[in-house]
Amino acid sequence: MKKIDILKKLRSSSLRPTKQRVEIAKFLFEREKTFHFTVESLNKLLIKKSTSKIALATIYNTVHAFKAAGHLNEVEVRGNKTYFDTNVSNHHHFYDSETSELIDIDANDVVIQKIPKAPNGKKIKNVEVFINLKN
C-alpha cells in the first residue's frame, strides 16, 4: 500500500493528514497481513515504533474515524477491551483464548449448509463464525 492510499484513507474518513494520523494510518494499513489490535496494544506498538508519542485520545479518535468510514472493523472478543481488525471484508476468526489472539479465516473456507430463517420482520445482515481453540 502506497502513501497515496494512506492519504485516501484519511480523506475518506474526513481526517486531515496530520503527522499523528499519518503515522497511525501507515502503521495500521501498510502491511501485508491483517492486523487485529486493541487501542492499548496499538498504543504500545506505536510507542516502540516511533520517536514521538501520540496521545491516547488521538488514537481513540483516529481509530473510531477509520471504523466509521469502514476502514476498520470491530470484532467481538471475550473480555473487556474492544478489538479492531484491519480486514474489513466478510470473514471469520479462530480465537485462541490462551494468547487472546485472533486469526483470520477466509469467508470461502467456511461453508454453511443450513441456517434458520430470520425472525419475524427481520433480515439477516451477516453471519459470523468464531472457532474457539484449545491446546
What is the contact surface with a second copy in residues (CB under 8 A)?
74, 76-78, 80, 82, 94, 96, 103, 105, 109-116, 118-119, 121-135
Residue closer to a second copy by CB (options 4, 119) is 119
Yes or no: say if 102 and 92 are a contact pair by the CB < 8 Å rule. Answer: no
Site residues for DNA per CB under 7 A: 14-21, 38-40, 52-58, 60-62, 64, 80-82
Residue closer to DNA by CB (options 51, 120) is 51
Residue closer to a second copy by CB (options 48, 134) is 134
Yes or no: say if 130 and 92 are a contact pair by the CB < 8 Å rule. Answer: yes
Question: What sign has the CA pseudo-torsion 72, 73, 75, 79?
Answer: positive
Residue 76: all three cell numbers together = 467481538
61 burial level (CB within 10 Å; 0-12, 13-18, 19+): middle
Residue 116 binds: one of DNA, a second copy, Mn ion, none (C-beta under 5 to 8 A by kind): a second copy
Which residues would be at the binding site for Mn ion (CB under 5 A)?
77
